[in-house]
Amino acid sequence: MHSGQVRFGIIGVGRVTRQRFAPALRSTTQAVLLAAASRDVRRAEALDPQRAYDSYATLLRDPDVDAVYVATHNGLHKELVLEALRRGKHVLCEKPLGCRAEECEEMVATADATRRLLMEAFMYRYHPQLSKAQELVRERVIGELMAVETSFRFPMTRGTDVRWRPEWGGGALLDVGCYCVNFTRLFLGDAPRAVHAWATMDGVHGVDTSVHAVLEYESGTHAAVSCGFDGGPYQRAVLVGTEGALSLSEPFITWAHPPRLTVHGGGTERVIEHEPVDTFRMEIEDFCQAVNGGTGPLLKSNEGLLNARVLDRIAAAATG
């Protein structure tokens, strides 16, 4: 083991753990997979950790675990995050951090009190297209930013998916709308002056399957958010300025198709492409550097709370 290597425990071995996070963790020398816990220990063992547990609580009691990655359904995030922090562990928690802002408030307060790192795992923020878009906006390449439009939608085909369960923080707004809100906040800030929203609810399960929202800001700027699991797959982000626009073809999921950042203006289009990167690995390495007292992390502990406040406002405003 390298000195300074962060000893991770993974809690919950679902799709994101198996397909993205565990392979990324294995690919970096900055972390080691010390432990994994699943309700079915064979799923934990399949990740080949040094220690496999059949209960989340047992992993949290392991004193050798420095940091945990919480990747269960949303309904368990709060209690697992709180327990991990109280046991002195740093926490990287899958998005959304909590199901409501109230839950996130408690998590952030506990992270502050225990002086542990808490980060919401928005891996998409590590793709270089994000910092490039921020730089182009700062340089006023599209003039003054007027509006941010985001869409994230996929067809939900799995009838038993955890996203159908309202009591587990299901629904499209929390699942994919949280990306749209995070992107919007990055460019327009944390506090819209007014929020208008329309939602379509699934009559059987009682979760939102489609949400459209318009956010107004003091500066006169606007955001349009469109998310759902009733169509697509489709994702897009557009930054509209007084002299042009920037569009991101794959703003959130960047591994299925090469993401293109296009600068539109003056009747021309300039496409900026990027080499493929593993945003999960970048996220893990940034988090590990912060655990070891270096710079970062990119997302501060209250980011999840600020996101949840806007998501709560959209949910509260939603009619339909």
Q: Among 6-14, 148-156, 193-201, 237-245, which window interacts with ligand NAP (CB under 6 A)?
A: 6-14
Nearest alpha carbon to residue 291 among 88, 50, 80: 88
- Residue in 25, 69, 73, 215 binding ligand NAP, rule: CB under 6 A: 73
Amino acid at 149: E
Q: Among 8-16, 22-30, 60-68, 300-308, which window interacts with ligand NAP (CB under 6 A)?
A: 8-16
Indicate the residue among 15 and 26 with the shorter CB distance to ligand NAP: 15
Q: How far is the CB of 43 from ligand NAP (least distance, A)?
A: 5
Interaction of residue 283 with ligand NAP, rule CB under 6 A: no
Residue nearest to ligand NAP (CB): 14
* Contact map string, positions 86 to 125, toward ligand NAP, x by CB under 6 A: --------xx-------------------------x-x--
Interaction of residue 212 with ligand NAP, rule CB under 6 A: no
Interaction of residue 14 with ligand NAP, rule CB under 6 A: yes
Find the Cα–Cα–Cα–Cα dihedral 186, 124, 263, 231, rounded to 10°.
-100
Indicate the residue among 39 and 61 with the shorter CB distance to ligand NAP: 39
Sheet containing 145-155: order of strands: 268-273, 260-265, 244-248, 230-241, 145-155, 222-228, 208-216, 194-201, 318-319
Q: How many of the other CB atoms lie within 10 Å of CB of 256?
A: 9
SS3 283: helix
Strands (E), the chain: 6-11, 31-37, 51-53, 67-70, 90-94, 118-121, 145-155, 194-201, 208-216, 222-228, 230-241, 244-248, 260-265, 268-273, 318-319
Q: Are 17 and 123 in contact (CB under 8 A)?
A: no
Q: Taking CB under 6 A as the criterion, which residues in 149-208 touch ligand NAP?
A: 161-162, 175
Q: Among 72-80, 110-118, 206-214, 299-307, which window interacts with ligand NAP (CB under 6 A)?
A: 72-80
Indicate the residue among 69 and 217 with the shorter CB distance to ligand NAP: 69
Q: How far is the CB of 274 from ligand NAP (least distance, A)?
A: 18
- Residue in 38, 184, 209, 247 binding ligand NAP, rule: CB under 6 A: 38
- The CA–CA distances, whole Å, from 28 to 13, 22, 32, 91, 295 equal 19, 10, 8, 18, 18
Residue ranges that bind ligand NAP, judged by CB under 6 A? 12-17, 38-39, 43, 71-74, 76, 94-95, 121, 123, 161-162, 175
